[in-house]
Amino acid sequence: MAHGSLRTTFMDLVGRPPYESEYERWLGLGRDKLLDALLGSEEFWGHWWSEQLYYFLLVDNFQPIARATKEIPDKLAGGRMDYRTALHRIALTSSFDQRNPGSDTFVTVVMEQFCGLVVQKNRRDLESGKRAYDGGKGNFLGTIVNNQAEVIEVCVNHSKASKHFLVREYQRLMHAPGDKKALANQARRLHRDPWKYLATARDWLLSEEYSQRLERLEPKSNSLFLNGLFVDLLDRLPKEEELDPMRTALDALADPRPLRSVVVRLLLDSGRVRIPEKDTITDPTRWIGEKFQRLLGREATGEELRVFVGIFHQPDCRTATILYALLSHPEYQNY
């Protein structure tokens, strides 16, 4: 794999670019080998879990903190829990209940977010679910339910939930809508056997459609931008107390790009980044070319090298200036 495809695949699967040692290990090897290492790993499931919590808006003050909940990625990686059970556990958390208070909100959310149903077109099921939430009895999605837990169970285990999950997972990994007929067939298999999720994802990631995805840029989420920035500059992920405040601030903005540039500057000026002194760089062209590969995932053009090397040789230019130019480049907002 080349720099760009390696970087993109890491970010799609584990939510970060490769560490320095991983570039050395994986450059030039096949995508199938990388999938063998990443797909289904604890880090893969940890990223998947974070993405699911974000999908259900269980972040910041609503993030589940129970020990049993935090152990779910490890259980997924160890084959002791399937994805459907993990999603079921999300809906049973007090955080999910607090995030969606009241019968109308709660039942609406589980119908829409688990099954992809439009409640305006399913009013009878909504009302039945609300009655059960309040302790009554109702026919909800074809099943008699008597309480809130049974409403959740019916939604999570419904065939429409398998289809909706697969559709949104395809969009998350492939960054494009999938073929409806193919996804419907895959959803039927997944509904019968939830353990087929990883095999299904592997087929997607080895497909021509994913090869085409690797040829185009897609926007980075704020979490992915911050994870990538820390790995690119510090060769580590941000700690939770570093990530959460910055992500919350970025998420609050309609256009986070200006604030992202401020974050880049703050990290570069923090004293934590190992930035080489200018006079230690004996081959500026090579150094700048390597930074293009590492940070933007591509070769620099001849014109870009000419411009950047020219700037590098200006007396008032620092090496941090070159890094800032690349990290605030529009392409760094994407991957």
pLDDT tens, position by position, 45-61 = 999 999 999 999 999 99
Stretch 36-53: mean pLDDT: 98
Q: Quick one: pLDDT at residue 236?
A: 98
* Average pLDDT, integer, range 208-218: 97
This prediction has a pTM of 0.94
Tell me what the mean pLDDT of segment 238-260 comes to.
96
1, 34 contact by CB (below 8 A): yes
Q: How far is CA 210 from CA 19, 22, 204, 214, 299, in A?
A: 22, 21, 7, 6, 21
Which amino acid would we find at residue 259? L
Q: Is the dihedral of CA 95, 46, 109, 155 positive or negative?
A: negative
pLDDT tier, 6 (very low <50, low <70, confident <90, very high otherwise) = very high
**Mean pLDDT across the stretch 126-147?**
98
| DSSP category for residue 140 | E
At residue 334, φ and ψ (nearest 5 deg) are -125, 175
Report the distance separating Cα 16 and Cα 227, nearest Å. 6
Start-to-end CA span in the chain (Å) = 15
Alpha carbons 142 and 124: distance in angstroms, whole number? 11
Across the range 243-259, mean pLDDT stands at 96
Q: Could you give the CA distance from residue 204 to residue 213 in angstroms, rounded to a whole number? A: 11
Rg, the chain, Cα only: 23
- pLDDT at residue number 254: 96
Which run of H or E residues covers position 144? Answer: strand 143-145
Query: For the segment 92-115, what is each residue's pLDDT rounded down to a tens digit?
Result: 999 999 999 999 999 999 999 999
Q: How confident is the model at residue 281 (pLDDT cuts 50, 70, 90)?
A: very high
How much is the average pLDDT of 131-139? 97
Tell me which residue of 61, 3, 58 sits closest to 27, measured CA to CA: 3
CB atoms under 10 Å from CB of 300, counted, come to 20
333 CB burial (10 A radius; 0-12, 13-18, 19+): middle
% of the chain with per-residue pLDDT over 70: 100
| Average pLDDT rounded to a whole number, residues 247-270 | 97
Give the number of residues written for the chain.
Answer: 335
What confidence score (pLDDT) does residue 78 get? 98
pLDDT tens digits, one per residue of 152-182? 999 999 999 999 999 999 999 999 999 999 9
- Is 97:106 a contact under the CB 8 Å cutoff? yes
Structure tokens at 331: 């392409």
Residue 113, C-beta contacts closer than 8 angstroms, at least 6 positions apart: 55, 56
Mean pLDDT over each residue of the chain, to the nearest integer: 97
Give the 3-state secondary structure of residue 81: coil
At 84 the three-state DSSP class reads: helix
Pairing mode, if any, of strands 138-140 and 143-145? antiparallel
